[in-house]
Amino acid sequence: MKTHLSFSSPSEVETDCLVVIALDRGEKDKPNVSLQSDDGNLKSAAADVLANGETTGKIFETTLLHAPAKMKAKRLLIVGGGKEKSFSAYDLRRVAGAAVRTLKSKSIRAIALVVPRVLASEEAVKASVEGAFVGNFDPDVYKSDRKDQKIESFTIIASGDQDKLQGAMNQGQVIGESQNFTRVLVNEPSNRMTPTMLADRAKKMCSEVGLQCEVYGAEKIRELKMGAFWSVAQGSDEPPALIIMKYEPAGAPEKPVLGLVGKGITFDTGGISIKPADGMEKMKYDMAGGAAMIGAMRAIALLKPKMKVIGIVCATENMPSGKAQKPGDVQIAMSGKSIEIINTDAEGRLVLADGLYYARQLGCTHLIDAATLTGACVVALGYVNAGIFANDDKMYARFEDALNKAGEKMWRLPLDDEYKESIRSNIADIVNSGGRWGGAVTAAMFLKEFAEDTPWLHLDIAGTAWMEDNKPWIAKGPSGIAVRSLVQFVQDFSS
């Protein structure tokens, strides 16, 4: 999708459809709907639907008008944004996505959106573009009768400093494209996204944007003594891949160095502790944390913050076979810690354990990992918030600020020392599963053993990496969560 910036009056813009947002500035029982534009011709074209109550301003409500008078646009789409007093960039992203999804289904290919007045122009431009890209993605790539319905041209109508607004639009496009790149990776079925294929996609992306990239196979993984990672990989006929992406911009300080570590289980059967058949097809998404790190590294390379970042993805399948590890086995991680395997379906923390330790060996001073790690996190937080765990309050505060700017929802969960009792082993140092109660927390406690004192955040995105239903602003399927927040975190940290 090509993006454009316009400073014309909305009624003077030639486009297949002009989009304007309607907000309700009234009280609870007295709606007072107004358009987010000062253009008199635009207000006149919408006057009747506002006056007769057809347009109420309710969020995601759409009203489509054809051949609006005194306007060069062929159509006018009014999209509700909810209450004006609470309207934010978070809402604008979703409203822009809803507009794109509404119009592309009508075979419209070029649209223009009027930036709402109630938000700062730069913030609004960036959020609009991000939301539009998210709304433009659909997962139906393998349907033989697929109709390629996409918005091809998206124009933002704004006012203000042209250079700053152009910069905001460019940032929004890079981040939106990178989030969709992540979604493309997660969307692929496991026979078309093996660990080797994921590594090839990462290498190609790194070549395109100027990142260093190295990919190691089974021999190197064993040479590095990554016993936790290898214990998962040994059960599959597909070779594993250790993907290392490095961003080292000229002029960046030696420290800090951020390590982004992603779980890349391209298919998770559960191993010997096999999962139920119902819903197992979705387990192609178990590499969403790794895909998020690949997408974030793409955006970071293009936006060029002055901070060193290393992305690490531990990619493998988790399969049952005669070679697979078994409950009761003891594995030795790269750090030297011994791990008793209680449940082979608790495999994500095993690959991350070696990924986190390896990131520290490469010189990372701060760590963030992302993983579709536990069903327990979904039980705790549902499909709305991802879980965050942190061993450093200062780093968490930085990330929380980035979350608020990026418009992604995550909720901090505890890491009290008492939880460590649940992962103690009688035969080894720790077990890989602390049991049913507090499962998301005990999984994080396991990972903390490998981050140790390095400032670290763990993002459990199990409930948010996959949209269970179609929403007005986003299609059912992969969400690309964490990309926006990770990029914002790096941009803020570098400055």
Residue 11 identity (one-letter amino acid): S
The counts of H helices and E strands in the chain are: 13, 20
Distance, CA of 417 to CA of 391 (rounded, Å)? 11
Distance, CA of 344 to CA of 327 (rounded, Å)? 6
Distance, CA of 421 to CA of 308 (rounded, Å)? 36
Q: Give the sign of the dihedral formed by CA 418, CA 422, CA 423, CA 425.
A: positive
H or E segment and range at residue 324: none
Phi/psi region, residue 328 (left: phi>0; alpha: psi -120 to 50; beta: rest), is left
Nearest alpha carbon to residue 410 among 462, 473, 353: 462
Helices (H), 14-150: 40-51, 89-104, 121-135
Distance, CA of 210 to CA of 320 (rounded, Å)? 38
- pLDDT tens for the 495 residues of the chain, in order: 999 999 999 999 999 999 999 999 988 778 899 999 999 999 999 999 999 989 999 999 999 999 999 999 999 999 999 999 999 999 999 999 999 999 999 999 999 999 999 999 999 999 999 999 999 999 999 999 888 789 999 999 999 999 999 999 999 999 999 999 999 999 999 999 999 999 999 999 999 999 999 999 999 999 999 999 999 999 999 999 999 999 999 999 999 999 999 999 999 999 999 999 999 999 999 999 999 999 999 999 999 999 999 999 999 999 999 999 999 999 999 999 999 999 999 999 999 999 999 999 999 999 999 999 999 999 999 999 999 999 999 999 999 999 999 999 999 999 999 999 999 999 999 999 999 999 999 999 999 999 999 999 999 999 999 999 999 999 999 999 999 999 999 999 998
State the Cα torsion 415-419-424-429 to the nearest 10°.
10
User: Which pLDDT score, from 0 to 100, does residue 486 have?
Assistant: 98
Total residues belonging to the chain = 495
Domains and CATH numbers, the chain: 2-159 (3.40.220.10), 178-494 (3.40.630.10)
Nearest alpha carbon to residue 354 among 416, 458, 262, 470: 262
Q: What residues act catalytically? A: 275, 349
User: Which pLDDT score, from 0 to 100, does residue 14 have?
Assistant: 97
Q: Are 175 and 483 in contact (CB under 8 A)?
A: yes
**Tokens 């994500």 label which residue?**
348
Strand partners, 155: 4, 112
The DSSP output letter for 337 is -
User: Which pLDDT score, from 0 to 100, does residue 147 have?
Assistant: 80
CA Rg value for the chain: 24
User: Which pLDDT score, from 0 to 100, does residue 26 have?
Assistant: 87
Q: Are 386 and 481 in contact (CB under 8 A)?
A: yes
User: Which pLDDT score, from 0 to 100, does residue 148 have?
Assistant: 78
**Tokens 């309710």 label which residue?**
58
Strand partners, 61: none
Q: What angle do CA 125, 82, 408 make, to 5 degrees?
A: 55
State the angle between helix axes of 483-494 and 162-187 in degrees (0 to 180), rounded to the nearest 10. Answer: 140
The DSSP output letter for 30 is B
User: Which pLDDT score, from 0 to 100, does residue 31 have?
Assistant: 83
C-alpha 329: how far from chain center: 34
User: Which pLDDT score, from 0 to 100, does residue 456 have?
Assistant: 98
Q: Give the pairing of strands 75-83 and 17-24.
A: parallel
